[in-house]
Amino acid sequence: MLSRKPDFIKHLFLCNKKHLPPTTTIPGPTTTIPAPTTTISAPITAQTVLLQRVLLKPVVQKECPICKVLMNTRNLKRHIERKHTGKHQDIIATSHLQSECIDPENGVYTVHKSFLGTSVPLHVQNKIWGQNQRVSCESAECQETMELAWQSGFKAYQCIHLKSVPYCTSYASSPVLLEETLCEMVSSQWFGEDEKKMCLDLQSLAEQNSLPLSVHSKVGTPETKKYLSVFEPTVSDYSRLGRVMVSFDTEKDSWDCSCAETKTSCLHKCIAKWHLFQTHHELLGKVRSTEEVEWPSPSSTMDKDSHDEVGVDDNQYPPKHEETMKGMVQYLLKNKKLPAVLPEQFRLPSIETHYPKHLIPEEMMCQHCPQHVPLSDPVLITNKAKILTNSHIVEDVSTYCKSCHQCGTFYRYQEWKDGLHNFNDRILLDLPLCLTIRNMLQVHTAVSRVVEYLELTTGVQYPPADTVLHGYLHFEALTGHEYEYSCVTCGDHPPVVIMGLHKGDFQLSVSDLPQPPEDFSGEVHVELFWETLSMERIGQGFVSSHQSNPFAVSPTFHFWAPWIGRNTRRTNCVLNTEFQKVCPPKQAEVCEITVTEDQLREELCKQKVQVVHELCRECGLDSSGSHTDLLLRLSNEMKSRQTYDKVFQKIWAASGGWAVITCPCGVVYSIKGNIRAESPRDFADILLSWTHMPNIVIYDFACELATHTNLREPERSPFSPFEGQLRASSTDTISRAETGNLKVSLPWLNSTKPVPDCDGHPVTGSAEHYALYDRFHEDQTKDPRDALRKLSLVRQLAGKVSSQIVTQLFAKMRKNNYFLNMASPSTRLFLMRNIIHHYNTHRNKQQLDTMEKSFKPDVVMDVYKQTVLENFRPTLI
């Protein structure tokens, strides 16, 4: 018996309608059918049945607690797992990354980079047989994570890519690429004879080493891209396992290789085209590679040098007496600092925030007098002060001060807990605006452009950009930054560093600088110098112009210091011996310190068109034509000594520039604003000021640096053994190094020496110190002995350390030149240290986030501020 008969009838009716074939209704004559005697209710149509049967449930949406996106409640759990869960999935037989073996003899595989999204395959090597056993992943992120685990004693740790290799069931084959195919490509003008010869040479080298030249991997997404693993004999940052991944987008007809820029041809792309031309000719069509690269040219903007002033009452504030003002500045610097990390409510701008209109200092008693002397009643400074925000300007704000009748000290409003920063009692910045300016500087946007943006957005005229800049620098001077300048991966004492110079010019005449006192030894108190720079910034809030600032710092040889992290430097007295650059060098240095024509040409190519035009005119050359034409004329003319000297003075010997030392992770450890042109002396000053000198120093002028440093301290020869070379100089070792047959192993770079050397480095335990060239400059030297300074000779560093880190940093900092070069030397120095500090903080946060994804919450800091795992702490030296 059916308990729900009406529902069953409706169900049969719907099924009948669903399975009936469609029919065409033909209208016919209307006929009247007499109604039956039985009363029947309204007929049940299909539409009526659907309306009665379907119960519409409301879609319940819920907000993601992390990203605040609204979505269906049923999808929220999966959304959080996919987007906001840092923990990797467990690698098991049913859940692992897709992989494919491309070189069975050496255990090389291609593995999906991630579980989700577009995934370019990575190379991993899992060779656990034979003599040369190796387990490694191409991902720099994975390598850092594994090294952290290994240093902490967790030797069995593997990344998700290596864990997926045991579940590999696919094997790719490498076809024999024919020379006839290559000849056909040359005749079709895919590339020229030179590229053909290089392709054949690389094929021959791969055959000699029994390695596959090119392998088409089926791993990787999307399906519209073809991925080819190409043999690369040189181990570098983009070919850590001796192979490079080349991709071809079949939809966009574009090629991509990690060794070359977009639209730039390279040998790996040529090999990949050779492979596809022979095996998948239909994919290529008539597409050829191009070598067009566009370089953006930054425009320059000059800030206006003006100051916004509002009339004040006729009183003694701000004080004119220098000692009284100094006491006020020191009080603010000591007692009114903002935290380095502001509370969340002060970080984001809000138009609903209401600020007080009467700003009165909180102090009730004098903080300078030994007795508890009460302060005066609040005295009005101005009732026309302005609060600058991201969205508007709060006008007609009253600011007050108090004074001590006994010592004459003034106290002004400086309370960050109200969300405000008082610059000069007339201009106040809210904290979200200060953070906006800080972040805009990180993306290379001048304060003048920020002000212009605010004016266009709000329709309100802001104070001059120079005033806003000084207000922001005032905020940074009162922020409690530690300026640690240390990497969470390498710690306070990195064993490997990369050094370089960022070109720039100070707006000063070096010849007008006074000579240092006769008793000056070259040591400068670093904390005192940088505190003086901060006092200059704070003092700007009490004066009407920079010229009237009693705390202004001018460049001098005896009071101009680099910045080295507090835990990295030996003492608070650091070296700056720039004044000795004018003295004649020692005979041994004369033989070493030379700038070759090739190095000068390289720097010349980096100059702007205007600089090259001016140089051509000064050298009596035709200044018309393209940038390339001008460079060729100057390059040819540099063979004459007179032209060489002019170019050297203009390009290399210009005043200013930044000497920078970074770790391989790209975190800056030391900066030095040079007054005179760069020389190895600048970097020797910094290294000799460190507590522990790095074991490996990578520098463009490695030989000159080692010679200069050893001459300065001959009793201990900082760069030893072999004067900083990897092996003793001999005809045999030089020949083997030049041909690539010499390999040097420094095992203490990976694991600390069991028995540390006397005065050994705390991380490696080794007392050896080498000065090496990176691969971009090792071929520019003319001394055959420099072949023993090649970075690629060291097994533990080949492919893991690249000077491109410094190059990328300088490329970013170069975007700031258009406003930094217009600032005064002291302003530029203060701002540069601050910008680099926030850059370091961001890079360290990225590294910590990466580590915590794999090991959270086990990542901690050891005594050297180096990340280790909580349960695997190594024994300290």
* pLDDT band (50, 70, 90) for residue 292: very low
Residues of the chain above pLDDT 90, percent: 47
DSSP string, 81-94: HHHS--SPPP-BTT
pLDDT at 31 over 50: no
The most confident of the ranges 278-292, 306-320, 583-597 is 278-292
Question: 299-308, 497-506, 770-779, 853-862: which range is least confident on average?
Answer: 299-308
| 815/572 Cα distance (integer angstroms) | 32
pLDDT at 632 over 80: no
Residue 716 vs residue 507, higher pLDDT: 716
DSSP string, 689-746: HBSS--SEEE-TTHHHHHHHHHHHSTTT-SS-SGGG-SS---HHHHHHHHHT---B--
Rounded mean pLDDT of the chain?
A: 83
- Tell me: the pLDDT tens digits for 512-531? 678 889 889 999 999 999 99
CA 772, 777, 781, 784 torsion: positive or negative?
positive
Question: 622-626, 798-802, 867-871: which range is least confident on average?
Answer: 622-626
Average pLDDT value for residue range 489-501: 94
**pLDDT value, residue 8:** 73
Residues contacting residue 305 through CB under 8 Å, at least 6 positions apart: 466
Residue 463 vs residue 87, higher pLDDT: 463
What would the 3-class secondary structure string for 165-224 be? HHHCCCECCCCCCCHHHHHHHHHCCCCCHHHHHHHHHHHHHHHHCCCCCEEEECCCCCCC
pLDDT at 268 over 60: yes
Across 251-281, b (16+ Cβ under 10 Å) vs e yields eeeebbbbbbeeeebbbbbbbbbbbbbbeee
Using DSSP, state whether 255 is helix, strand or coil.
Answer: strand
**pLDDT value, residue 42:** 46
**pLDDT value, residue 291:** 41
Average pLDDT value for residue range 288-314: 37
**pLDDT value, residue 650:** 55
pLDDT at 301 over 70: no
| 833/440 Cα distance (integer angstroms) | 16
Residue 10 vs residue 19, higher pLDDT: 10
Average pLDDT value for residue range 61-84: 82
| 783/701 Cα distance (integer angstroms) | 12
- Tell me: the pLDDT tens digits for 671-718? 999 888 778 999 999 999 999 999 999 998 899 999 999 999 999 999
Q: Are 125 and 106 in contact (CB under 8 A)?
A: yes
Average pLDDT value for residue range 859-872: 82
Residue 283 vs residue 463, higher pLDDT: 463
Q: Are 695 and 770 in contact (CB under 8 A)?
A: yes
Residues contacting residue 156 through CB under 8 Å, at least 6 positions apart: none
Nearest to 673 by CA among 651, 647, 655: 655
Average pLDDT value for residue range 757-768: 94
Q: Are 734 and 787 in contact (CB under 8 A)?
A: yes
Question: 198-202, 381-385, 411-415, 820-824: which range is least confident on average?
Answer: 820-824
pLDDT at 123 over 60: yes
* pLDDT band (50, 70, 90) for residue 393: very high
Average pLDDT value for residue range 213-235: 90
**pLDDT value, residue 322:** 86
Using DSSP, state whether 398 is helix, strand or coil.
Answer: strand
**pLDDT value, residue 643:** 61
| 828/788 Cα distance (integer angstroms) | 39
* pLDDT band (50, 70, 90) for residue 68: confident
Sequence letter at residue 112: H
Average pLDDT value for residue range 204-229: 90
pLDDT at 353 over 90: no
Sequence letter at residue 861: M
Q: Are 510 and 655 in contact (CB under 8 A)?
A: yes
pLDDT at 171 over 80: yes
**pLDDT value, residue 56:** 55
Average pLDDT value for residue range 339-359: 88
* pLDDT band (50, 70, 90) for residue 511: low
Whether the bond between 517 and the residue before it is cis, its omega within 30 degrees of 0, is no
Nearest to 123 by CA among 37, 221, 22, 230: 230
| 257/239 Cα distance (integer angstroms) | 11
CA 626, 632, 635, 636 torsion: positive or negative?
negative
Question: 228-237, 259-268, 457-466, 615-624: which range is least confident on average?
Answer: 615-624
Question: 163-172, 604-613, 648-657, 825-834: which range is least confident on average?
Answer: 648-657
Sequence letter at residue 477: A
**pLDDT value, residue 637:** 67
**pLDDT value, residue 18:** 54
**pLDDT value, residue 656:** 61
